[in-house]
Amino acid sequence: MGGRQKHDVIVVGSGPVGLTVAMDLASRGVDVLVIEKRPRGEAPSVKCNHVSARSMEVFRRLGVADAVRAGGLPDEYPHDVAYRTSATGIELTRIPIPSRAGRLRHAPGPDTDWPTMEPPHRINQIYLEPILFAHAEAMQGLSIRNRVEVSGVCQDASGVQVQARDLVTGDELTFEADYLVGCDGGRSQIRTAIGATLVGDAVIQRVQSTYIRAPKLLSMFKHEPAWATFTLSPIRSGNMYAIDGKEFWLIHNYLKDDEPDFESVNRDRSIRQILGVDDSFEYEVINKEDWFGRRLVADRFRDRRIFICGDAAHLWVPYAGYGMNAGIADAANLAWQLAAVVNGWGAPEILEAHVAERHPITSQVSHFVMDHAHAMATERRIVPQNIEAHDDAGRAVREEVGRRAYELNVQQYCCAGLNFGYFYDKSPLIVYDDESHPGYSMGSFTPSTVPGCRTPHFVLPDGRSLYDAMGPDYCLLRLDADADVRPLLDAAAERGLPLTLLDIPAGVAPQAYRHALLISRPDQHVAWRADTLPADCGTLLDQLRGGAA
């Protein structure tokens, strides 16, 4: 029988979301235990292929962004998205996205002018997860127990108790913590334990997914390779992701409306149609996974001391990479609030903000994704029969299909709106004023300092990122050097609320900054702005810390 172990927070699941919440907590001085039933070093499935810019900003704050950006495809392998009649066929259009080396050269592309120091990065989860794991494992105050399976959880007013079993020794284990975060995937045991139910559309799309090794495929392309290659054909539509840029590929076959189930579709024939190769072409199946594209969001993200994040909280078709990346945003939102309570400066009520903020955003994003999935399905259904014809009509068809594919998809692969445009409009931790939040789409947004928006990023005169200079906690930006902020700093010190002062030289901040003072939260969202301090700074700070002093 294993002994009891007590921690501040237990995280169930060591995927990218679980590791992010654990790293974020540990970086704030919280004692964290991660429980994972998989063996240490076991590769995850080839799921997510994209780390969004907002996630890269989180990784930068946690000190792991450089390692993530160094992983994945070779330095010069294009991160483009290509649309062809088959992988080896005629190219219809492509969305140019710089390779890792291309970004260092400032190569052009539709996602290269975003206001951030951390643009997105194309890397498959099989490479991403080990990088995050190694970084997490080396952090002080963070421990990971592999080959441990949770068998039950319970909670009371004083904490959470986890019953588990060591899958190697068979020992029964008990762990205790103040809080628990379930990041245990789409079949989440923790979601079930808190009585949450997934609500939405159970099936939007059906996909045969096959991970293959095909060393000769790269040399067969008629065009420059791409990170993602979509096949638009009246015979078979699908897409292919480059995993290592050499010989490993992930093939997605989208089932047609008249194909009743996965078993009705010949996998091998479909793969050959998507690749545009004949029966003599040799490839090896590494593994296969058939899945349903869904739009499901849990009806609750919390039960008292237990929270859920990532796929445990929401499942949808991963367009724009916003399956895993939405989970990382969940993690970054929850971690600083949990740390505030554990470290004593946050009132317990601060935790009410997590659900109030993240649940509406995940619902919004899920609808963006669902709408895009339906639009993509429509495009696949209407591919003309003569798309490969070598005549004027065929060329005209290819030009039109390519134009539509580019206009529809550039917004998801260069999704500045989903990265930077969302805002929290009903948070108990944000002091709102009379200005409305600007709208956003999947592809575009308007930088704004309206409370609840992402704090607009810019580079300081000394070359530092604003976010680096602000640090990991609350930050008071002073844009008027004459503004007296001592009462606010004193009130923060009295409450133990970590608040850094950052003076911004005149003329440096972008036009979105129209107030003399602004407080940015630990997750880089605007909490308050004004031209002068309020009469009672304590009341303002008590709202930011989640309750009355």
What is the pLDDT, as a whole number, of residue 211? 96
Q: Which residues of the chain have pLDDT under 70?
A: 1-4, 202-204, 292-294, 317-322, 366-380, 548-549
Q: Find out whether 419 and 427 touch, Cβ atoms under 8 Å.
A: no
10 Å CB burial of residue 247 (0-12, 13-18, 19+) is middle
Radius of gyration (C-alpha) of the chain in whole angstroms: 24
Q: What is the pLDDT of residue 257?
A: 74
Q: How far apart are CA 186 and CA 201, in angstroms?
A: 14
Which residues, listed in sequence order, are joined to residue 251 by a DSSP beta bridge?
210, 240
Fold identical between 5-71+121-199+295-350 and 423-545? no
Q: Please report, for the chain, the start and end positions of each structural domain, with discontinuous segments joined by +.
A: 5-71+121-199+295-350, 423-545
- What is the per-residue pLDDT for 178? 98
Token readout for 61 is 């704050």
The pLDDT score that the predictor gives to residue 303 is 97
Q: How many DSSP H helices and E strands does the chain contain?
A: 14, 22
* Ramachandran quadrant class, 524 (left: phi over 0; alpha: psi -120 to 50; beta: rest): left
What is the residue type of 60? R
Which DSSP category does 344 fall into?
T
Q: Is 276 left (phi over 0), alpha (psi -120 to 50) or beta?
A: left
Q: How far apart are CA 508 and CA 461, in angstroms?
A: 7
Query: Tokens for 188?
Result: 């989440």
Q: Which residues pair with 219 in a beta bridge?
A: none
Q: Which CATH superfamily is domain 5-71+121-199+295-350 in?
A: FAD/NAD(P)-binding domain (3.50.50.60)
Locate tokens 């594919």: which residue? 405
Answer positive or negative: Cα dihedral of 19, 21, 22, 25: positive
List, in order, residues 6 or more apart from 239 with CB less than 8 Å away.
228, 229, 230, 231, 251, 252, 274
List, in sequence order, every residue forming a beta bridge with 314; answer none if it has no partner: 297
- Residue 493, SS3? helix
Strands 172-182 and 4-12: parallel
Q: Which helix (H) or strand (E) holds 240?
A: strand 238-242
Termini Cα distance of the chain: 44
Q: In this structure, how many other beta carbons lie within 10 angstroms of the beta carbon of residue 263?
A: 9
CB 290 within 8 Å of CB 207: yes
Residues 153, 160 contacting (CB under 8 angstroms): yes
pLDDT confidence of residue 223:
96
Cα distance between residue 363 and residue 11, in whole Å: 24
Which DSSP string corresponds to 278-331? Answer: -TT---EEEEEEEEEEEEEEES-SEETTEEE-GGGTEEE--GGGTTHHHHHHHH
- Which architecture characterizes domain 423-545 according to CATH? 3-Layer(aba) Sandwich (3.40)
Cβ–Cβ < 8 Å for 160, 176: yes
